[in-house]
Copies of this chain bind each other. A is one copy, B any other.
Amino acid sequence: MTAPLSTARGGALAILDPDETDLLHTLDHIFTSWGTGAGAREILPPPVYPLGDLEKFDVYENFPQLQFVGGPLDVTGTPPVPVGGSFARDDTAPAILGLPHSTCYGAYLYCENRSVAPDTTLTLVNRCFRNENEYEGLRRLLSFHMREIVAVGSYEHTQDLNARFTDRIERFVKELGLDVVRRAAADPFFERDGGRALLQQLSPVKHEFQVDGLAIASVNTHRNFFGERCGITLDDTGEHAYTGCVAFGLERWLAVLGDRFAGDLPGARAAVTAADAATAP
């Protein structure tokens, strides 16, 4: 069987073919090894959460247009029948599940109501979901993989991790022959929060790594926002933990590497392995 490129489902979703799958896994193993090499252990979050878990992070207040939610069908009477590929509102029970738009929430929920060492690092990958106005192949999907390396601990720990991976991402991407631009970006996370919004103007909390105008990775600092919301405290001081994260949008890496290597994904796979070895610290 000749494998076609990713089989698009309605333009918004894709089934990755074997070469795409292999390249995605290779990239994910590389970024995971960066995390474990920095002392992270891996955890595995669910792809959906009880709505109340995501509500803690103001996602329905700050990004309502991006969110997908889910629930069961209403089967109290005759089971409903979809029409034109959708169920009417009355066919479904109230939505109780939140489909996350970012991976790192799982790390904060994992640490919820716990005390952690000030140098705690976790890594995790999840399927993320975003309701976008337009989708564009692997560059912009309704659901995609985001691998993250997350620091939970002292402010210094979060800044150290971000600085270390800023450098590593830039060296890795350049070794691959990609033109990368690092841009400060606004994080709408804090837009409803006056104090943090002001802080963000003084000191950017998000830097994106862009190739061809597409953000393929970012480093983010959240001060103690998630530590407060999840009741995560530090072993040594008892204060709320600070958090920061480094995020990789894996299908976007496939898209820019597909362009860079003219569709030769096995060649791209060999190149990322070599680039990782060449830029290891």
Beta-carbon contact of B68 and A72 below 8 Å = yes
Which residue of chain B lies nearest to A64 when distances are taken between CB atoms in the complex?
B79
Evaluate contact between A67 and B73: CB separation under 8 angstroms: yes
Q: Is the interface of A mostly helix, strand, loop or mixed?
A: mixed
Question: How many copies of this chain sit in the oligomeric assembly?
Answer: 2
Q: Select the residue from A12, A17, A94, A141 with max chain B CB neighbours within 10 A.
A: A94
A271 interface hit (Cβ, 8 Å):
no
In whole angstroms, what is the CA distance A131 to B112 when docked?
26
Q: Is A149 an interface residue (CB 8 A)?
A: no
Q: Which chain B residues lie closer than 8 Å to A17 at the CB level?
A: 43, 110
CB-contact partner of A49 in B9, B47, B89, under 8 A: B9
Q: Which of A8-32 contact B (CB under 8 A)?
A: 9-10, 12-18, 20-22, 24-25
Query: Chain B residues with Cβ under 8 A from A41's Cβ?
Result: 3, 18, 21
Nearest CB of B to A140, in Å: 14
A92 interface neighbour in B12, B20, B69, B106, Cβ under 8 Å: B69
A: contact size bracket? 35 or more
Is the CB–CB distance between A18 and B46 below 8 Å? no
A73 to B54, CA, bound (A): 14
Q: Which residue of B lies closest to A63 (CB)?
A: B79
Contacts of A49 in B (CB 8 A): 9, 13
Whole-angstrom distance between the Cβ of A61 and the nearest chain B Cβ? 7
10 contacts between A and B (CB under 8 A): A12-B50, A13-B50, A15-B43, A47-B127, A48-B68, A60-B79, A69-B70, A70-B97, A89-B89, A89-B93
